[in-house]
RNA sequence: GGACGGGUGGCCGAGCGGUUAAUGGCAACAGGCUGUAAACCUGUCGCUCCUUGGAGCUACGGAGGUUCGAAUCCUCCCCCGUCCA
């Protein structure tokens, strides 16, 4: 069932968002502290310490591809929503305004006026999403800019350098995100290339850190399409890099959802227990606790922000497609259980009116709500883990999800 | 009173003898979106009937006419603009 969200459990598991200061920023680029572990699942709650604050995990990271979460101000994000870490994108910011410009202007944090943490994706996802505009070689990826058609070569080394120039707290290695489905043979070749790139990126990164230490971590990415053996081979090989954290990529590329979960399960027990695990590009609200139950600490997804703009709103009672006629004269708030600015002030009828009129305010209010919904869910999850009630929470979520279906 | 230009599906607006139930756009209605080329994309959009695929009916201001065939050509009428008296 499409838009179910784990909201019926809201009252029992209220969100906790209390940023804490960073303790040991000078010991390593970032450090991960496990606060609580679930006794029945692989879930854990932790603190990820960065030079730009501590991040409570499990965490959902809003996507701000072009150094902005579309529709929101940095104040909305930090003060209203309590966002501790944002995602930005190397491919997009490399093309415009350029990493050297951002370096010159004091780094990405200063450039976009964001004092909390930033994770930058390498451009590996654009290998997938812009597949018609790129060519993969052993050396790297040649992109034909979607802006002006210019050719740009992204290598494992150059993407590390660009992200260092940004001043990102967490850098991602350049990877190849394969489409679905691919043959085992193709997936294997692709995974091995990603692996070689990860080694090159890591070597380059270590060199840069030796000459100019900075509190910036580099995460490699487990690939292998939907083949457990390839996933495990990739994860095992990446352990040699002794990275500060590990990502699981190549999910949500069109595969059935159970497969995504299976890939996380195949990988998770190989990854270091004391390092954060990041599932890239997931997921729907009901999936968030499922990933956490499988040992994931970090997630990001464009769904709450993009779907907000496209009229698809996530509530504790399920999805609301705001353009539907049934909301035309609906005077209730979008989500009666939600404390966000949008829900505390505006009716569904007004939101629908703004959407139908193409008003900018619609995107602002909708994005604000959807992100709040995601962050609330993460708060519920974290609280449940800490209070040792995560299995019950998960049951509650699954049953609500099944009922809705 | 005269001269031009017009009246097309909810609206705007193409079409100017057959491939036209009628291009587009808007509106309406629905679906999609997962490390963002996305405030985007797709579908439906006269009525009735049967399962897909189709079948029938009604339609381009009105009434006649020409033609195998008319939204398209002709005649008259009605209405709307602009200009001249």
> Could you report the predicted ipTM of this complex, rounded to two decimals?
0.90
For the stretch A157-189, pLDDT in tens is: 999 999 999 999 999 999 999 999 999 999 999
pLDDT at A3: 41
pLDDT at A22: 43
Asked whether residue A65, judged by its CB, lies under 7 Å from any atom of the DNA or RNA strand B, the reply is yes
Q: Please indicate whether residue A282 or residue A12 has the higher confidence score (pLDDT).
A: A282
Asked whether residue A87, judged by its CB, lies under 7 Å from any atom of the DNA or RNA strand B, the reply is yes
pTM: 0.90
CA A274, C1' B70: Å apart? 81
CA A395, C1' B20: Å apart? 59
Q: Whole-angstrom Cα distance, residue A27 to residue A22?
A: 11
Asked whether residue A283, judged by its CB, lies under 7 Å from any atom of the DNA or RNA strand B, the reply is yes
Asked whether residue A400, judged by its CB, lies under 7 Å from any atom of the DNA or RNA strand B, the reply is no
CA A83, C1' B64: Å apart? 76
For the stretch A182-215, pLDDT in tens is: 999 999 999 999 999 999 999 999 999 999 999 9
pLDDT at A28: 73
For the stretch A322-372, pLDDT in tens is: 998 889 889 999 999 999 999 999 999 999 999 998 899 999 999 999 999
Protein-nucleic contacts, chain A 300-319 to strand B, CB < 7 Å? 300-303, 305-307, 309-312
Confidence grade of residue A17 (pLDDT, cut at 50, 70, 90): very low
For the stretch A130-161, pLDDT in tens is: 999 999 999 999 999 999 999 999 999 999 99
Q: Please indicate whether residue A11 or residue A385 has the higher confidence score (pLDDT).
A: A385
**Average pLDDT for residues A10-22, to the nearest whole number?**
43
Asked whether residue A50, judged by its CB, lies under 7 Å from any atom of the DNA or RNA strand B, the reply is no
Protein-nucleic contacts, chain A 131-170 to strand B, CB < 7 Å? 132-133, 146
Strand B nucleotides, any atom under 7 Å from protein beta carbons: they are: 27-41
pLDDT at A12: 42
- Nearest nucleotide to the CA of A312, by C1', is B33
- Nearest nucleotide to the CA of A301, by C1', is B34
Lowest pLDDT segment from A10-19, A239-248, A275-284, A307-316:
A10-19
For the cut 50, the answer to whether the pLDDT of residue A222 exceeds it is yes
Mean of all residue pLDDT scores within chain A: 93
For the stretch A87-135, pLDDT in tens is: 999 999 999 999 999 999 999 999 999 999 999 999 999 999 999 999 9
């Amino acid at each position: 069932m499409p838009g179910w969200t784990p909201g019926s459990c809201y009252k029992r598991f209220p969100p906790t968002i209390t940023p804490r200061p960073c303790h040991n920023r000078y010991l390593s680029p970032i450090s991960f502290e496990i606060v609580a572990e679930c006794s029945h699942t692989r879930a854990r709650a932790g603190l990820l310490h960065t030079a730009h604050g501590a991040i409570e995990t499990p965490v959902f990271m809003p996507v701000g591809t072009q150094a902005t979460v579309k529709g929101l101000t940095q104040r909305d994000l930090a003060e209203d929503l309590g966002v501790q870490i944002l995602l930005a994108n190397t491919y997009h910011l490399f093309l415009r305004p350029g990493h050297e410009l951002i370096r010159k202007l004091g780094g990405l944090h200063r450039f976009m006026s964001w004092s909390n943490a930033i994770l930058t994706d390498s451009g590996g996802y654009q290998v997938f999403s812009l597949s018609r505009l790129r060519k993969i070689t052993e050396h790297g990826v040649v992109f034909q800019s979607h802006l002006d058609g210019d050719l740009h070569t992204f290598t494992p080394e150059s993407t590390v350098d660009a992200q260092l120039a940004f001043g990102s707290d967490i850098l991602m290695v350049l990877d190849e995100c394969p489409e679905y489905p691919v043959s085992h043979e193709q997936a294997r070749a692709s995974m091995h290339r990603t692996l070689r790139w990860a080694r090159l990126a890591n070597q380059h990164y270590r060199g840069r850190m030796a000459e100019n230490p900075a509190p910036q971590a580099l995460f490699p990415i487990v690939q292998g399409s939907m083949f457990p053996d390839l996933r495990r081979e990739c994860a095992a090989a990446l352990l040699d890099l002794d990275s500060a954290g590990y990502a699981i990529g190549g999910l949500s590329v069109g595969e059935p959802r159970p497969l995504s979960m299976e890939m996380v399960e195949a990988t998770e027990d190989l990854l270091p227990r004391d390092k954060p695990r990041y599932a890239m590009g997931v997921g729907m609200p009901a999936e968030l606790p499922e990933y956490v139950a499988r040992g994931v600490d970090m997630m990001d997804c464009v769904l709450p922000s993009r779907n907000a703009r496209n009229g698809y709103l996530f509530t504790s009672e399920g999805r609301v497609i705001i353009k539907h006629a049934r909301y035309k004269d609906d005077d209730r708030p979008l989500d009666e259980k939600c404390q966000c600015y949008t829900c505390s002030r505006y009716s569904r009828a007004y939101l629908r009116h703004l959407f139908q009129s193409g008003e900018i305010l619609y995107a602002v209010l909708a994005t604000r709500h959807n992100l709040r919904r995601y962050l609330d869910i993460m708060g519920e999850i974290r609280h449940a883990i800490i209070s040792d009630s995560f299995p019950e929470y998960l049951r509650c979520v699954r049953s609500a999800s099944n009922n809705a279906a």
